Homo-oligomer: A and B are copies of this chain.
Amino acid sequence: MKKSAKPGAERVKQGSGPEGICRELGLKLTPQRLAILEYLDGNTAHPGAEEIYEAVSGRFPGLSLATVYNTLASLRDKGRLLELAIDPAKRRYDPDTKPHHHLICVACRRIVDIEHTFDLEIPDALRMGFEIKGNEIGFYGRCPDCKKTDARKQKRDLRQGGAYVRRP
């Protein structure tokens, strides 16, 4: 296991690492929860519940899908996990809760993070009285792989300008 809990040798940073996160959020340290958090830690694939379940089940047989959903809901409610609504087929999760944007491949649905801050000065006239707290940009296009592969199968593209227009 990757659990080098050597006292003194490795300091548990506040809220860092599966255990730190559970303690910080007041959640019990169950092996299932820790395994899920470990899988999510640093994960940039924006996995769905099923994928998380499959992946964690490997190292942790007996895990229940319901537990995965329960855990994801807790983390999301505590603000420790972002639940993305980018994919209409299922919810995807992002452990990176810092504000950032996404590159979305319209062909294979791959989602890549963009850690960059854009200056989005929105004219007052367009705010419609809204009290804006944040923003998220989705850049739609084709990833390097799909750019080569499906050059002409564009009929299968999923999105265009931010919204689905076709389905596979």
Contacts and interface: CB of A to CB of B under 8 A. Distances in A.
B163 A83 contact: yes
Interface in A120-145: 120, 122-123, 126-144
Contacts of A91: 88, 164
A139 B122 contact: yes
Interface of A: 73, 76-77, 79, 81-88, 91, 94, 97, 99, 101, 103, 105-106, 112, 114, 116, 118, 120, 122-123, 126-144, 147, 160-167
A156 to B, nearest CB: 11
**Chain multiplicity (copies):** 2
Contact of A133 (B73, B126, B140): B140
A11 to B, nearest CB: 28
